[in-house]
């Protein structure tokens, strides 16, 4: 089932999320919905708070559905390591229409539970490392614009306020 994606301005996006206690059938359904919603958007990743679920879960697929092996669903993820630096344009399904250059690690290793509840370690470089960091930020209530310097961030927020007033956000 497709779920509506919350946009900047919704308080769920700026609050930290809770760890998952147990992988229940309800939780499995949420993960299915997140995957479907991410592919339909389309996007490279989606975190549970973006669909209004304040839990530590994200899904990513840097192939955007082209490679079935590239799909990763992580429950209660944590960083094992982050190294290096990359500077690329980045966007977010919760901030549609806006992109900005964000500093991210070049290489990131995370561990968490997979959908079956087994511990899994995943290693990402380049786009996948960026996606890991972007989605982990969502789980802590941070959006990519929070990494921008004042002027750039203010400009985006001003434009979004204008869109909100016009009923277009
Ligand atoms: Zn995002």
Mean pLDDT for 155-165 is: 96
Q: Is the pTM of this model over 0.85?
A: yes
Residues 115-140 have pLDDT tens digits of: 999 999 999 999 999 999 999 999 99
What residues are annotated to the active site? 135
Distance 1 CA to ligand 1 centre (A): 20
Q: Which residues fall inside 5 Å of ion ligand 1, going by CB? A: 92
Distance 119 CA to ligand 1 centre (A): 24
Residue 149 reports pLDDT greater than 90: no
- The string of DSSP letters for 37-59 reads HHHHTT-SEEEGGGGT--BSEEE
Alpha-carbon gap, residue 56 to 78, rounded angstroms: 10
Residues 59-109 have pLDDT tens digits of: 999 999 999 999 999 999 999 999 999 999 999 999 999 999 999 999 999
Residues 34-65 have pLDDT tens digits of: 999 999 999 999 999 999 999 999 999 999 99
Alpha-carbon gap, residue 8 to 6, rounded angstroms: 7
């Amino acid at each position: 089932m497709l779920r509506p994606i919350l946009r900047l301005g919704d308080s769920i996006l700026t609050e930290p999320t809770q760890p998952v206690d147990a992988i229940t059938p309800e939780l499995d359904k949420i993960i299915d919905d997140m995957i479907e919603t991410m592919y339909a958007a389309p996007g490279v990743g989606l975190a549970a708070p973006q669909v209004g679920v304040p839990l530590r879960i994200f899904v990513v697929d840097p192939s955007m559905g082209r490679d079935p092996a590239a799909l990763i669903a992580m429950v209660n993820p944590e960083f094992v390591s982050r190294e290096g630096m990359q500077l690329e344009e980045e966007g977010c399904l919760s901030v549609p229409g806006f992109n900005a250059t964000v500093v991210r690690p070049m290489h990131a290793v995370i561990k968490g539970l997979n959908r079956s509840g087994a511990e899994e370690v995943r290693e990402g470089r380049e786009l996948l490392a960026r996606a890991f960091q972007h989605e982990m930020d969502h789980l802590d209530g941070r959006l990519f614009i929070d990494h921008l310097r004042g002027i750039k961030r203010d400009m985006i927020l001003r434009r979004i306020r204008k869109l909100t007033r016009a009923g277009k956000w």
